[in-house]
Structure 1
């Protein structure tokens, strides 16, 4: 999937250095709500093991990690994952983050919309959902812009890196 000067594609092992750099550059921004990513990518070797595990889950169709790549610089500028997949329904949760240098430029919105369409057309999901903290207005705007509707608040649904258990807003979108 491509748009403007960007490509959205599945993560590959060759992305190790660029992925590590993106996480490292955004570690402070990611630490509360991307606990697993932050805790598992402190060094290049830890990140390599983490990516191997993600790609194994991808091969088993349990998880799909996508990167947003700047086609000119080859930098990774964002990450979108399909997780918590339930093939019986079928439904899945989406998550994403964007490099701070690329945030607020519409890149994530375009990429996210393309991935949503891909989820419905390629994977055959009938429902997609995302969860976000009420302080994350950017994620809420992204969800609404991508056709998701708020379905409610899930109380005490996520443990942050600091150990705080917080409520999350739940957004859903049904296949049209």
Structure 2
């Protein structure tokens, strides 16, 4: 069942404190697959700068970063990022992270479905990708629950900080409207 008590929306300037707190309190889980985002949000000032940069990317339709929020609360529980957008071929990639206290509740799946609707309906993408490591069962579960299908293993696709390159699993979803 998809949890509808959560929504995605753009980051706002007054989100800086909540965003920085999310990143710092989940440092151990974010540093492997979200190291750049983590490094850009280690202080409230860093997060203010990050949010300004994300606003510029949205204005240029280069990348869309959304906050995951509970409907009745404005604190940030996670992020959904629509990135690596190629408007010429109608393709983009979804990446996401969530506060560890909220794992396993259907929140990410609900928010990814909202991001899918946005990508297909608002910016006319035709293909979405999710790339996950085979050990990240939660991320793979989100991809499958949201209708993505496994396509292939990408050899040496990602290098986490201070580790060797990892093979990653590619999942894709195609617009059917």
Q: Give me the CA root mean square deviation.
A: 1.4
Deviation at 1:172, TM superposition (A): 0.4
Deviation at 1:115, TM superposition (A): 1.4
Deviation at 1:163, TM superposition (A): 4.1
Q: Equivalents in 1 of 2:126, 2:29: separation in Å? A: 32
Matches within 5 A, 1:13-162: 13-162=13-162
CA distances 1:22-75 after superposition (whole Å, capped 9, x unpaired): 111111111100011122222222222222222211111100001111233322
Aligned pair count reads 174
Q: For 2:95, what is the secondary structure of its paired residue? A: strand
Q: Equivalents in 1 of 2:104, 2:95: separation in Å? A: 17
Q: Equivalents in 2 of 1:137, 1:167: separation in Å? A: 15
Q: For 1:58, what is the secondary structure of its paired residue? A: helix
Q: Equivalents in 1 of 2:53, 2:162: separation in Å? A: 24
Work out whether residues 32 and 162 of structure 1, in 8 Å CA contact, stay in contact via their aligned partners in 2: no
Work out whether residues 90 and 125 of structure 2, in 8 Å CA contact, stay in contact via their aligned partners in 1: yes
For normalisation by structure 2, the TM-score amounts to 0.92
For normalisation by structure 1, the TM-score amounts to 0.93
Work out whether residues 9 and 68 of structure 2, in 8 Å CA contact, stay in contact via their aligned partners in 1: yes
Structure 1 residues 114 and 151 mapped into 2: Cα distance closer, same or farther (>3 Å)?
A: same
Q: For 1:31, what is the secondary structure of its paired residue? A: helix
CA distances 1:54-101 after superposition (whole Å, capped 9, x unpaired): 221111110000111123332211210100000001110001111111
Give 4+ residue runs of structure 1 displaced > 6 Å after superposition. Answer: none
Unaligned runs of 5+ in 1: none
